[in-house]
């Protein structure tokens, strides 16, 4: 059995194997995860709106041991991940981390949010740093604005938004506010 | 063990593992699925495999929580899925079977996985007959 706290390293292997078969195989898999997550979450989010989504991500912070906080925003909230346990584990790995690891997250969040009638915008900041910011909102204009502001927006299903295959390496952490963003 | 993850557990990852196994089996076939488990066993858990190749089963035994013969009476992953009313994919236990097989490749050990059903199995590590 793959222990649940080792799952993401298996996930990372699935991404690499599918991507080796073609980018479409990878994004089809993300859509499948999105479909499974929709079954789990979409009705709950549709009923409970941003409050239900916020409650879900509060639980994720606890269960996945994230260093993150949730900040209230008009019409929604912002999830500020300061240390993503998922990418951290994919990087702390004897196997090679997958270069587009971060993109899978929006790969499932986007279909769930669409089905729930909410908007989510994720700024990955860098695919080599275990931090990101994402906004969940019921306000389409706020989502558009956040997308424009994002340094590295995650739009996995938009044509040409995923760069060609490449390895990813952990970037050294420096000062939080003065961190250099070196996106390859 | 190379990985020392501590803290809370997000047990719902077992649901994603089950969904992933079902999807890969249907869409890409068992051979592809076993290939992913093989890479997980030999690359993610490289140190376990390297030690086994060198004749040292201690890391794997530790991974199995100190038993050379591991009798699973209630698999936590299967129990979680059943509790949630999620259909356990017929290939779900392949994650254990294929990874045990991959870990034993090129090593002096063989690892057998006897699936008894309903989340029960017996996994046995033994030195191959010379």
Instruction: Say how many domains are in chain B.
Output: 1
According to DSSP, the β-strands at A119-123 and A76-83 are: unpaired
| pLDDT grade for B108, boundaries at 50, 70 and 90 | confident
Query: Is the pLDDT assigned to residue B66 strictly greater than 70?
Result: no
Contact B42, B105 (CB under 8 A): yes
Contacts of residue B74, Cβ cutoff 8 Å, sequence gap at least 6: B119, B120
Q: CATH number of the domain that A108 lies in?
A: 3.30.1380
Q: How many other C-beta atoms can be found within 10 angstroms of the C-beta atom of residue A50?
A: 20
Residue B120 within a domain? yes
Residue B1 within a domain? no
Question: Pick from A11, A17, A95: which is nearest to B35 by CB?
Answer: A17
The mean of the pLDDT values for chain B is 89
Residue B93 within a domain? yes
| pLDDT grade for A170, boundaries at 50, 70 and 90 | low
Question: Pick from B11, B24, B95: which is nearest to A4 by CB?
Answer: B11
Instruction: Provide the shortest C-alpha distance from residue A142 to chain B (in Å).
Output: 31
Residue A155 within a domain? no
Mean pLDDT over B103-119 rounds to 90
Q: Does B23 sit within 8 Å of A32, measured CB to CB?
A: yes
Residue A96 within a domain? yes
Residue A161 within a domain? no
- Determine the pLDDT at residue A178: 37
Per the model's pLDDT, the better-predicted residue between B95 and A178 turns out to be B95
Q: Does B2 sit within 8 Å of A64, measured CB to CB?
A: no
Mean pLDDT over B29-33 rounds to 96
Q: Which residues pair with B122 in a beta bridge?
A: B71, B114
Residue A119 within a domain? yes
- Determine the pLDDT at residue B17: 95
Instruction: Say how many domains are in chain A.
Output: 1
d(CA B36, CA A10): 8
- Determine the pLDDT at residue A62: 93
- Determine the pLDDT at residue A171: 53
pLDDT digits (tens, 9 = 90+) for A129-166: 999 999 999 999 999 999 999 999 999 999 888 887 65
Helix H or strand E segment including A80: strand A76-83
Residue B48 within a domain? yes
Q: What percent of chain B lies above the pLDDT cut of 70?
A: 95
Query: Is the pLDDT assigned to residue A51 strictly greater than 80?
Result: yes
Residue A26: exposed, middle, or buried by beta-carbon count in 10 A (0-12, 13-18, 19+)?
Answer: buried
Contacts of A68 in chain B (CB under 8 A): none
Q: Does A60 sit within 8 Å of B20, measured CB to CB?
A: no
Range of the domain at A114: 4-149
Residue A154 within a domain? no
Mean pLDDT over A5-26 rounds to 95
- Determine the pLDDT at residue A163: 86
Q: Does B54 reach chain A within 8 Å, measured CB to CB?
A: no
Q: Does A96 sit within 8 Å of B43, measured CB to CB?
A: yes
Residue A180 within a domain? no
Residue B78 within a domain? yes
Residue B7 within a domain? no
Instruction: Provide the shortest C-alpha distance from residue B80 to chain A (in Å).
Output: 11
Residue A162 within a domain? no
Tokens of B81: 């899925």
Question: Pick from A1, A8, A11: which is nearest to B96 by CB?
Answer: A1
Residue B94 within a domain? yes
Residue B108 within a domain? yes
Q: Which of B38-42, B53-57, B89-93 has the lowest mean pLDDT?
A: B53-57
Range of the domain at B45: 13-127
- Determine the pLDDT at residue A177: 37
């Amino acid at each position: 059995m793959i222990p649940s706290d080792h799952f993401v390293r298996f996930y990372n292997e699935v991404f690499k194997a599918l991507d080796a078969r073609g980018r479409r195989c990878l994004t089809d898999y993300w859509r499948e995860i999105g479909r499974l997550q929709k079954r789990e979450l979409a009705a709950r989010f549709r009923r409970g709106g941003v409050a239900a989504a916020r409650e879900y991500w509060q639980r994720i912070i606890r269960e996945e041991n994230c260093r993150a906080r949730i900040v209230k925003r008009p019409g929604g909230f912002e999830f500020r991940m300061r240390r993503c346990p998922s990418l951290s584990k994919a990087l702390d790995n004897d196997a090679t981390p997958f270069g587009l690891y971060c993109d899978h997250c929006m790969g499932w969040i986007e279909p769930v949010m669409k089905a729930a009638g909410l908007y989510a915008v994720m700024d990955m900041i860098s695919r080599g740093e275990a931090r990101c910011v994402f906004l969940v909102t019921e306000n389409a204009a706020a989502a558009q604005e956040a997308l424009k502001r994002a340094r590295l927006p995650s739009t996995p299903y938009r044509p040409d938004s995923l760069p060609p295959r490449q390895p990813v390496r952990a970037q050294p952490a420096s000062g939080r506010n003065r961190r250099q963003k070196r996106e390859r | 063990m190379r990985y020392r993850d501590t803290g809370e557990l997000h047990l719902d990852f077992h649901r994603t593992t089950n969904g992933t196994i079902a999807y890969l089996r249907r869409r890409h076939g068992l051979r592809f699925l076993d290939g992913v488990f093989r890479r997980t066993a030999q690359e993610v858990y490289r140190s376990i495999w390297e030690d086994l190749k060198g004749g040292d089963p201690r890391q794997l035994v530790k991974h199995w929580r100190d038993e050379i013969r591991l009798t699973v009476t209630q698999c936590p992953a299967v129990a979680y899925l059943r509790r949630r009313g999620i259909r356990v994919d017929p290939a779900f236990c392949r994650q254990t079977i294929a990874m045990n097989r991959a870990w034993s490749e090129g090593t002096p050990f063989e690892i057998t996985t006897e699936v008894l059903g309903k989340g029960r199995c017996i996994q046995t590590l033994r030195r191959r007959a010379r």
